[in-house]
Structure 1
């Protein structure tokens, strides 16, 4: 009887070990190794300039200018336009593709304000709060916090022709048709690269193939 109990215990331990291994493999397979280059499609608010944008994204002005040939001045940018801010798209925690930026809080900042105003809806309040330890009502001034922006390196099952993508926050008035027209990407491809996205909502993130 005791031998049976020992045998059952060993079998249970083996089953538990196999379950843990399968769980780890499943978690690790949620994203690939990432890619060296992706873009944040940053909507320029009134009064913003390249010095400010380069600071919050920790990217040099010459590097940003490299991917934005339409900018004539080294600092002044027309408000209401978008620029591509380059960053590396990484597999974070083996769970999802993204990049975590370091941002120094200012007086009066909230997670919602940081997401919507500072980072121009490239992330949202939930994601900013999720990757920080400070409670929403206890965010200290001039402290460095994490701001995670999702990204993608493409989907070879959709198309092998596109490997560079922009994380694109939709704005009011934008829809699938206008995005296809402005980006030059066919409607069908935009839908395939963004399964489940509601392009008519005028908000939320989509991924748009970009030119290097």
Structure 2
């Protein structure tokens, strides 16, 4: 008969360290899972067409038409308007909610140009630098760039009434009231601020998360 041998102290200590590391990792995780759908508000500048905009996100006009009832002609989109694109909102590395797109660099591209001119401030040059290995001003022609866009799945502690959120890049001249009015939330400015704690809606830059509609139903139950 083989006698029972107690684990040596070093082994017990190792198990304790592994348990503690696992516990701390769970505490430090800022998200556990994402959600199937998020929207991004793409500000249209002169010279852009809908095919180009949707192509950046791997979509077509038919894909985005339910989220853009105001666009009736796929060959024409008004400069200064916004196009809603959609994507899954993922929990990336347990750290934040977002989705990563791929962009193939052209000659003369910089992270600032990609973020501002191509992706309409849905991301930032700093965010691109964080997730790519190239120098911000020395991106090789044809290099595939990781473009990460932040998103939101809501916050049940704020409200259970909304489950779809739009990543909205603020522009100069906008404020809490104007954004609330655009999304028919004029009577819910406090709610909008609660979903974006500490955010200055009058900053003219940065992103905010807007509880919104999916073009097919008025309200989606929170996930």
Same fold (TM over 0.5): yes
Unaligned runs of 5+ residues in structure 1 are: 1-5
Equivalence for 1:202: 204
3-state DSSP class of the match of 1:200?
A: coil
CA distance in 2, matches of 1:126, 1:35: 25
Shift of 1:7: 7.4
TM-score (norm 2): 0.87
Equivalence for 2:51: 51
3-state DSSP class of the match of 2:193?
A: helix
Mapping for residues 1-212 of structure 1, pairs under 5 Å: 9=10, 12-27=13-28, 29-185=29-185, 186-212=188-214
CA distance in 2, matches of 1:32, 1:82: 31
Equivalence for 2:218: none
Shift of 1:104: 1.0
Q: Deviations over 1:147-196 (max 9, x none)?
A: 00000011111011100010000000001111111111210111110011
Q: Deviations over 1:112-136 (max 9, x none)?
A: 1111111111110111111111122
CA distance in 1, matches of 2:17, 2:201: 44
- Alignment RMSD: 1.6
Shift of 1:11: 5.9
CA distance in 1, matches of 2:93, 2:14: 27
Between structures 1 and 2, the one with greater helix share: 1
Unaligned runs of 5+ residues in structure 2 are: 1-6, 215-223
Equivalence for 2:221: none
Whether the 8 Å CA contact 2:109–2:137 is kept in 1: the answer is no
Q: Deviations over 1:58-103 (max 9, x none)?
A: 1122011121011121121000011110111111112111000001
Q: How many residue pairs end up in the alignment?
A: 206
TM-score (norm 1): 0.91
CA distance in 2, matches of 1:52, 1:91: 27
Mean CA deviation greater in 167-176 or 14-23: 14-23
